Amino acid sequence: MNTDTWEVEFKARRRGYYVNCNDVEVKSNDFVVVAAERGEDMGCAKWQLPEDFKIKGSPMAIIRVASEHDFERFQENRRKEKETLDQCFEFVKKHNLNMKLVDAESQLDGNKLTFYFTADHRIDFRELVKDLAGVYKTRIELRQIGVRDEAKRLGGFGICGLQQCCSSWLRDFEPISTQLAREQNLSLNPQKISGNCGRLLCCLQYEKNHYRETLRSFPSLGSRYKTESGEGIVDKLNIFTQEMTVRYQSGDEEVIRLKEVQRRNCRKSSFFTKISTKNSDQKE
């Protein structure tokens, strides 16, 4: 296989691998025209794959770097997609289909028009496809996606105030459970730990290792901890302020910095090392 292979990104971060078998001069972030199933499509060349990168199947070819004419056609397609989506919505109402249209995507040469939708069940959209094909005279594909993919295609901002991870940099969705929220000491209120898609926040998954590694520096939540004020229970942990809260039997609370916890652990470790060394010397 030709080692000059690129990952190309299309609308809504849809990606594919393409071989530069035509020796086109491609640089990262160049827009390129690539071979599609039936014709040509256009996307952005993101990065060149290393030689040892394994690809499933046979990637199609990069045809050329996009020209000014290609850009004009590309922008015209994007403009028409909004009108196309409205027309499809009317057909959906006509056939009384229980589906939610999300997006439309046209191939560069217009030889294929894909509609993305969400639905709770399988949909018989054969009559819908006939109507769409009759209007647009091209190949029609309807693709059912999940609600997380819907959020990825539509874009938006998360409760953190930043652009959604799925529509900015996150590539793959992984299973997420409420156990991750518990480990990160978060409220289990669905409104606080769910994204725009209604599913658990993706950041719970890729932040878990940071939480697990940082929490090793603290005593376990609920464990007993002795301070100068007496013995209490570790009630709260805050990895961002590097503090923990100890609650005493009287109901009083004390906030202790992680540095102080580590300093005490260091003194304990030093003490037990001296005892161990002394006992070893006595045995000899």
Q: Residue 114: which CATH number? A: 3.30.300
Taking alpha carbons only, the member of 99, 108, 122, 46 closest to residue 77 is 108
- The string of DSSP letters for 25-46 reads ---TT-EEEEEETTEEEEEEEE
Kindly state the percentage of the chain with pLDDT values over 70: 92
How many structural domains comprise the chain?
4
Averaged pLDDT for residues 118-131: 95
Whether 250 has a pLDDT exceeding 80, the answer reads yes
Q: What is the pLDDT of residue 20?
A: 94
* pLDDT one-digit tens code per residue, 217-241: 888 888 999 888 889 999 988 888 8
User: Which domain-ending residue is among 145, 174, 199?
Assistant: 145
Q: What is the pLDDT of residue 274?
A: 43
When comparing pLDDT for 132 and 227, which is higher?
Answer: 132
Which residues span the domain enclosing 10? Answer: 5-66
Averaged pLDDT for residues 191-205: 93
Same domain? For 82 and 104 the reply is: yes
With bands split at pLDDT 50, 70 and 90, how would you rate the model's confidence at 278? Answer: very low
Q: What is the pLDDT of residue 140?
A: 97
Residue pair 225/236 in contact (Cβ under 8 Å)? The answer is: no
Taking alpha carbons only, the member of 30, 2, 36 closest to residue 16 is 36
With bands split at pLDDT 50, 70 and 90, how would you rate the model's confidence at 162? Answer: very high
Whether 91 has a pLDDT exceeding 80, the answer reads yes
User: Which domain-ending residue is among 21, 45, 66?
Assistant: 66
Residue pair 22/62 in contact (Cβ under 8 Å)? The answer is: yes
Q: What is the pLDDT of residue 2?
A: 46
Integer Cα distance of 59 and 36 in angstroms: 10
* pLDDT one-digit tens code per residue, 20-56: 999 999 999 999 999 998 899 999 999 999 988 888 8
| Structure-block tokens of residue 245 | 């809260």
Kindly state the percentage of the chain with pLDDT values over 90: 66
For residue 284, being part of any structural domain is answered with no
Same domain? For 36 and 80 the reply is: no
